[in-house]
Amino acid sequence: MSLLSRWLTATSGALTAVTLGRRRVATTPQLVTLSSPVSPLQDIAARLRSGESDVRLDGLRDWIGYGESLVDHRQPALDVLCAVLRDLPSPGSEVDGRWRQVLQATLAARLRPGPGFWLGSDVDLRHTTLVDFDLSECRVRSARFDGTRFLGDTRFDRTTFLGAFEAAGAFFGRHVLFTGSVFARRLGLRGVTVCGNGELSHIQVAGPVTLGRARFSGRADFTGARFGSDLDSSDVRFGGRAVFRRAWFAGASTFARTWFRGREDFVEAAFGGESSFENARFGHRVHAD
């Protein structure tokens, strides 16, 4: 075999490998990253956050239609509406104020028995700014308002809460009304600040009530309230009148270290369990006849 023949024989395998390698590289498909499709609810949420009023209103119409189309859509739709409310900037422009009121009214309409009522709904508005918020005569499962700022008057009167109501550290800029409301489980108002009056007359609470470290600047009215379990009202500061006239305490109740700066009224109150007023301070004579 000649030198040329031996060289061709030795290099033919390498040339074939290179050729096939080039073919493999040339025919290898390129990977393309596809973004996940946007769901209808995500699209609605984006439009509800739009800076254009027409886009927002269009999104709100589709939001109502989405929730009405299937029962299983209702809670996710409410969660989106609460998230949009939570993301709104602090009250400033008139446009922002009107949009906040529209969203709040839309939420209340789904929670109030009547046309468009969504039964069995949870509300999560923690760390949200709400203005003249009105959930009166509504029917809600659980409600979370921890750290929420309520500006203006707030109304929860004659509302039924089938689950727990939690508003730890909430701030009420003026009056708050719970008159005649029913709480099937727990009422948590630990550390709330009420700059106006707190109207809680004739409330009915089956589970425990927590008022510890709450601050009431105005009158706190618990006339005829029925506490079916334990009440923790320790370290509360009542700046105005504290009225517990004809209140009924089924479980243990504590007012330890509570400061009654105004007049207090426990006339005809009934204590079924142990009660404690240890180290409580009174600015006036106690009325408990």
208: Cβ–Cβ under 8 A, 6 or more apart, which residues?
186, 187, 229, 230, 231, 232, 251
pLDDT band at 6 (very low <50, low <70, confident <90, very high): very low
pLDDT band at 27 (very low <50, low <70, confident <90, very high): very low
State residue 283's pLDDT score: 81
The three-state DSSP-derived secondary structure of 156-181 is CCCCEECCCEECCCCEECCCEECCCC
Residue 76 has pLDDT above 60, yes or no: yes
State residue 93's pLDDT score: 67
279: Cβ–Cβ under 8 A, 6 or more apart, which residues?
256, 257
Q: Provide mean pLDDT across the span 84-102.
A: 84
pLDDT band at 30 (very low <50, low <70, confident <90, very high): low
Say what the pTM is. 0.85
Query: Which range, 30-34, 35-39, 209-213, is most confident?
Result: 209-213
Amino acid at 220: A
Angle in degrees, CA 31, 37, 39, rounded to 5: 165
State residue 96's pLDDT score: 73
| Segment (H or E) for 4 | helix 3-27
List 171's β-bridge partners, or say none: 149, 193
> How confident is the prediction for the chain on average, in pLDDT?
89
Residue 25 has pLDDT above 80, yes or no: no
Q: Please give the share of the chain, as a percent, with pLDDT higher than 90.
A: 81
Q: 238 — phi, psi (to 5°)?
A: -95, 105
> DSSP for 244-285?
-TT-EE-S-EE-TT-EE-S-EE-TT-EE-S-EE-TT-EESS-
C-alpha span between 144 and 162 (Å, rounded): 13
C-alpha span between 231 and 239 (Å, rounded): 20
Residue 38 has pLDDT above 90, yes or no: no
Residue 23 has pLDDT above 50, yes or no: no
State residue 29's pLDDT score: 54
pLDDT tens for 186-239 read: 999 999 999 999 999 999 999 999 999 999 999 999 999 999 999 999 999 999
Residue at token pair 């009915």: 204
Whether residue 165 contacts residue 184, with contact meaning beta carbons closer than 8 Å, is answered with no
pLDDT band at 35 (very low <50, low <70, confident <90, very high): low
pLDDT tens for 232-266 read: 999 999 999 999 999 999 999 999 999 999 999 99
State residue 3's pLDDT score: 36
